[in-house]
Chain A
Amino acid sequence: MLFKLAWLSILNRRSTAFLTIFSIAISVALLLGIEQLRKSMRNSFLQTVSGIDLVVGARGDAIPILLYSVFRLGEATNNLRWQSYLEWAADERVEWTIPLSLGDSHRGFRVLGTNSDYWRHYRYGKERKLELKTGEFFDGLYDAVIGSVVAEKLKYQLNQQIVIAHGAGSAALFEHDDQPFRIVGILKPTGTPVDQTIHVSLEAIEAIHIGWEDGFPSTQTGKPATMNISELQPKSITAFLVRLSSRMQTFRVQGEINSFEKEPLSAILPGVTMQKLWQILGTFERTLMTVSALVVLSSLTSLISLLLATMNERRREIAILRSVGAGPQRIFVLLWIEATLLCFVGGLLGFVLQYAGLMAVEPMVKNQFGLQLFLEWPGKEEFLFFLLIMSIGMMLSLFPAWRAYRISLHDGLLPKI
């Protein structure tokens, strides 16, 4: 019966009640939405690549090697010789490798030279393969396969011709415009740096750099049409990814690569390095969480202040209730149920709003920022979150209820307003 009374009381003050519910809903949606974003951000960073045991580059520190090879950020100080790569790729303990060659760009997007091992072996997230949206993987010398963000931002289609620039800047001052590339494939979105990469073959990287030994084009460049593939054996690559046949050999192989006599190389453990990098980025994640928690707290407090403010108007109503026999304890419970109901409805609405909002925003976020939102059905964690918010709301609702209790003790039937 008290529930019905509380419900009718809320209905009576529809507009203010609706405002309160809406403000709670927005902040709950904000909290849950930020939590989703945080998880997606974390996943898209930590799950950029999986199933890799070692990453090998020219001698250097672990974090820069991870950044330029896996995240395509920054530059390597040096390349490593193709011969060294072949020797390690042939090692008994190595199951497969993926060679990577970096250094060029196209309108701000990195160009990656690699071979078919990339398409065969590269995994991200939970064993997800790279898949094509349209077209095929590269076959000819000047074929290029582009990631989804490249296609979206630059509005590229299949069979379009593109020109690759030297270096990583967005304004291409030295272009390889004598050897344009043709887009033969566009990848599905992955939420990893793959989306912002243009993939070409290792041979193509050699081809466009013929005559560029000094770092910029010489006056005589070789005619592309007369070159055959065999002449375009790569001479060096930037890094390679390694998968071992047995994880127990990890330290051993890493140690041997690090003390390789023929060339100074560094083999890093991607898991450990990613975790170190995450320590730095993790503070952003935690700040986000703190901000959203504060938002929810502030809106729950505004609910309480709203209820407290309206307490004055309701003194007559409370007095009337008392006159028909409601004890002060019942008044307390009535007010408490009312506040809790508002919290509950607001929370539910916020929950729904959050999912609707994220679904609406997902395509934009993916295309503009390359961030893949891993939206899933609400799980145990979301449910517990909701319960936690509700319990805090119920706790805070005790204040106006207590106030009403005190008022009802003091006022008579004709309260001095």
Chain B
Amino acid sequence: MILMSFFKRCLLIVVLILSIGTSSQGFELKKLLFEGGIQFEEPAVEVSWRDLVQYDYKKKIIPPRLQAIEGRLIRVPGYVVPLLGDFGGDFESLQEFLLVPVYGMCIHVPPPPPNQVIYVKMNEPVEVEKLFDAVWVTGQLQIDVSELPNTENLNYAPEGGFSLSGVKVEIYERDASN
């Protein structure tokens, strides 16, 4: 330290302070990586909606490809439909949302069938800035085939759907793997 002149020492301190001051973005990145209770022992399996759509919700048949990944950590792209969870509508801390393959599905008639929507509950609230952009969601997949309790009103078929205990949300970048 004594070898460096005063000038250089000051410059070093300035650079240090500046880097701390502007690394607030870096803090957020770190938060995204080390989130959730699930440790990343296994890499997440990338799943496409073409696989998910194979689930026959009427006959409740889960094809083998989906059976293999049920309960495992998967990574699936989609558009976020925010839900007013127990934390209100603040999407700086969004905890529950639905993931759909096509943007604007919430206004479509008919509504998306159960094999085209994933209910995601994040372990930690995430910030989803732009809800128009597609995202990758990583989490543990559950396929719920439970029936709703018996009722005289059988206007709707008993059905179940996909749910995900979400660990990570990332912006969808168009890459070669797709």
Binding site for B on A (CB under 8 A): 42-43, 46-53, 91-93, 123-127, 247-248, 250-252, 254-256, 258-259, 269-272, 274-275, 327, 329-330, 332-333, 336, 380-381, 384, 387-388, 390-392, 394-395, 398
Complex: how many Å from CA A395 to CA B13? Answer: 11
B153 at the interface (CB under 8 A from A): yes
Whether A251 pairs with B148 at a CB distance below 8 angstroms is: no
Q: Which residues on B sit within 8 Å (CB–CB) of A47?
A: 87-90
B window 18-71: CB within 8 A of A: 18, 20-22, 24, 27
B101 at the interface (CB under 8 A from A): no
Complex: how many Å from CA A44 to CA B89? Answer: 10
Binding site for A on B (CB under 8 A): 5-7, 10, 14, 17-18, 20-22, 24, 27, 81-92, 96-98, 105-106, 109-112, 114, 117, 119, 131, 144, 148-149, 151, 153, 155-156, 159-163
Name the one of A49, A51, A254, A392 contacting B111, with C-beta atoms under 8 angstroms: A254
Whether A332 pairs with B7 at a CB distance below 8 angstroms is: yes
Name the one of A48, A258, A271 contacting B109, with C-beta atoms under 8 angstroms: A258
Name the one of A51, A259, A388 contacting B84, with C-beta atoms under 8 angstroms: A51
Complex: how many Å from CA A47 to CA B61? Answer: 40
Q: Which residues on B sit within 8 Å (CB–CB) of A381?
A: 24
Supposing A258-B109, A271-B82, A395-B14 touch, asked if A248 and B119 sit within 8 A by C-beta, the answer is: yes
Task: List 5 extra interface pairs beyond A271-B84, A387-B21, CB under 8 A.
Answer: A49-B84, A50-B85, A123-B86, A252-B156, A275-B89
Complex: how many Å from CA A250 to CA B81? Answer: 11
Whether A50 pairs with B88 at a CB distance below 8 angstroms is: yes
Complex: how many Å from CA A124 to CA B90? Answer: 11
Complex: how many Å from CA A252 to CA B20? Answer: 49
Q: Which of B5, B86, B96, B105 counts the most A-chain CB atoms under 10 A from its CB?
A: B86
Supposing A256-B155, A256-B156 touch, asked if A391 and B18 sit within 8 A by C-beta, the answer is: yes
Q: Which residues on A sit within 8 Å (CB–CB) of B131?
A: 272, 275
Name the one of B10, B21, B89, B149 contacting A274, with C-beta atoms under 8 angstroms: B89
Q: Which residues on A sit within 8 Å (CB–CB) of B161?
A: 248
Complex: how many Å from CA A392 to CA B153? Answer: 66
Complex: how many Å from CA A394 to CA B21? Answer: 11
Q: Which residue of A lies closest to B22 (CB)?
A: A388
Complex: how many Å from CA A390 to CA B18? Answer: 9
Whether A251 pairs with B112 at a CB distance below 8 angstroms is: yes
- Ordered nearest first, which 8 A-B pairs have the shortest CB separation? A391-B21, A47-B88, A255-B111, A251-B111, A271-B82, A50-B88, A384-B24, A329-B6
Supposing A92-B151, A270-B84 touch, asked if A46 and B109 sit within 8 A by C-beta, the answer is: no
Whether A251 pairs with B91 at a CB distance below 8 angstroms is: no
Name the one of A46, A251, A384, A391 contacting B106, with C-beta atoms under 8 angstroms: A251
Complex: how many Å from CA A164 to CA B82? Answer: 38
Whether B110 pairs with A46 at a CB distance below 8 angstroms is: no
Whether B111 pairs with A50 at a CB distance below 8 angstroms is: no
Q: Which residue of A lies closest to B155 (CB)?
A: A256
Q: Which residue of B lies closest to A255 (CB)?
A: B111
10 CB-based A-B contacts, threshold 8 Å = A49-B88, A50-B88, A255-B111, A271-B82, A271-B83, A275-B82, A329-B6, A384-B21, A392-B21, A398-B14
Q: Which residues on B sit within 8 Å (CB–CB) of A93?
A: 148, 156
Q: Which residues on B sit within 8 Å (CB–CB) of A251?
A: 98, 105-106, 111-112, 117
Complex: how many Å from CA A42 to CA B114? Answer: 33
Q: Which residue of A lies closest to B131 (CB)?
A: A275
Name the one of B20, B97, B153 contacting A92, with C-beta atoms under 8 angstroms: B153
Complex: how many Å from CA A258 to CA B111? Answer: 10
Name the one of A52, A125, A380 contacting B27, with C-beta atoms under 8 angstroms: A380
Q: Which residues on A sit within 8 Å (CB–CB) of B114?
A: 248, 252
Q: Which residues on B sit within 8 Å (CB–CB) of A46?
A: 88-91
Whether A126 pairs with B88 at a CB distance below 8 angstroms is: yes
Complex: how many Å from CA A252 to CA B156? Answer: 9
Distance (Å) between the CB of B103 and the closest chain A CB? 11
Q: Which residue of B lies closest to A54 (CB)?
A: B84
Distance (Å) between the CB of B60 and the closest chain A CB? 14
Q: Which residues on A sit within 8 Å (CB–CB) of B110?
A: 255
Whether B81 pairs with A391 at a CB distance below 8 angstroms is: no
Q: Which residues on B sit within 8 Å (CB–CB) of A51?
A: 84-86
Q: Which residues on B sit within 8 Å (CB–CB) of A52?
A: 84
Name the one of A271, A329, A330 contacting B89, with C-beta atoms under 8 angstroms: A271
Complex: how many Å from CA A248 to CA B24? Answer: 36
Complex: how many Å from CA A272 to CA B97? Answer: 10
Complex: how many Å from CA A43 to CA B93? Answer: 11
Distance (Å) between the CB of B16 and the closest chain A CB? 9
Q: Which residue of B lies closest to A397 (CB)?
A: B14
Q: Which residues on A sit within 8 Å (CB–CB) of B112?
A: 251
Q: Which of B7, B17, B160 counts the most A-chain CB atoms under 10 A from its CB?
A: B17
Whether A50 pairs with B89 at a CB distance below 8 angstroms is: yes
Q: Which residues on B sit within 8 Å (CB–CB) of A271?
A: 81-84, 89, 91, 97
Complex: how many Å from CA A408 to CA B97? Answer: 64
